[in-house]
Amino acid sequence: MCGRMAMTLPHEAMVELFAATPANDLPEVPNYNVCPTVQIPVVTAEAGLRQYRPMRWGFIPKWYKKPNGGPLLINARAETIAEKPAFREACRARRCLVPCTGFYEWERDSDDKPLPWFVARSDGAPLVMAGIWQDWERDGERLTTCAVVTTEANDAMARIHHRIPVILTPDQWALWLGETGKGASTIMHAPPEDALHFDRVSTDVNSNRAKGAALIEPLAE
């Protein structure tokens, strides 16, 4: 799964990378401890144009009577995304890219203590995850929300956790956004074994209040 991430990439660089038009209300970066329910920048393709815009991380189904009216849906499983009532419409019509520096995942030691890892691309490039999004509105309140798509972990990730975000390469961005026709289901799989780099990091990040660049620094061996 993906339950926490780091976003340190300058908005100007991301706008250029994705050839997108930026919104005026983007969340502040860098943020080394991005938690669910906060605003994150994502890339969408609407009316033939790419937009770089903020969304609430935590997908809200249209039938929720309030934002916390049911389970917090920060991830959507690739294996069932086209069938689940909460996600199937968004999967077909509202897909997005979620760029970040990397994400955190936790393993458990022999005493069941959560040990955090920071996962980033091996080549140092931005890590771009597949996402879905939709607008939610009720009683005058309107939110644009998103979830990260996950799939079964590859062997490298499985040592830590059995799920992994669907990570897209630049040649897959247009297909996921629906700019080059159908076939997005063919790219919902784990990345190659050597695509990601894993670093054990401080347990400071176990607190959602922790801040600062030290959170992603590898622990000394």
CATH number of the domain that residue 194 is part of: 3.90.1680.10
What is the average pLDDT across 31-35? 98
% of the chain surpassing 90 pLDDT: 92
Each residue of 98-137: b (16+ CB within 10 Å) or e? bbbbbbbbbeeeeeeeeebbbbbbeeeebbbbbbbbbebe
Question: Is residue 36 a part of any domain in this protein?
Answer: yes
What contacts 88, CB < 8 A, 6 or more positions away?
81, 82
d(C-alpha 52, C-alpha 48), whole Å: 13
Take residue 37 and report the two structure tokens written for it.
């329910």
Question: Is residue 155 a part of any domain in this protein?
Answer: yes
Determine the pLDDT at residue 221.
67
Domain that includes residue 124, residue range: 5-215
Question: Is residue 221 a part of any domain in this protein?
Answer: no
Question: Is residue 11 a part of any domain in this protein?
Answer: yes
What is the average pLDDT across 116-131? 98
Question: Is residue 206 a part of any domain in this protein?
Answer: yes
What contacts 79, CB < 8 A, 6 or more positions away?
151, 152
Question: Is residue 26 a part of any domain in this protein?
Answer: yes
Question: Is residue 220 a part of any domain in this protein?
Answer: no
Return the higher-pLDDT residue of 93 and 109. 93
d(C-alpha 168, C-alpha 171), whole Å: 8
% of the chain surpassing 70 pLDDT: 99
Q: Is the pLDDT at 1 greater than 80, yes or no?
A: no
Question: Is residue 108 a part of any domain in this protein?
Answer: yes
Query: pLDDT band for position 5 (50/70/90)?
Result: very high
pLDDT in tens, 154-209: 999 999 999 999 999 999 999 999 999 889 999 999 999 999 999 999 999 999 99
What is the secondary structure of the chain as a DSSP string?
----EEE---HHHHHHHHT-EEPS-PPPS-EEEE-TTSEEEEEEEETTEEEEEEEEESB--TT-SSTTSS--B-EEETTTTTT-TTTHHHHHH-EEEEEESEEEEEEE-TT--EEEEEEEETT-PPEEEEEEEEEEEETTEEEEEEEEEEEE--HHHHTT-SEEE-B--HHHHHHHHTTT-S-GGGG-SPPPGGGEEEEE--GGGGSTT--SGGGGSPPP-
Query: pLDDT band for position 24 (50/70/90)?
Result: very high
d(C-alpha 36, C-alpha 17), whole Å: 25
Mean pLDDT of the chain: 96
- Total structural domains within the chain: 1
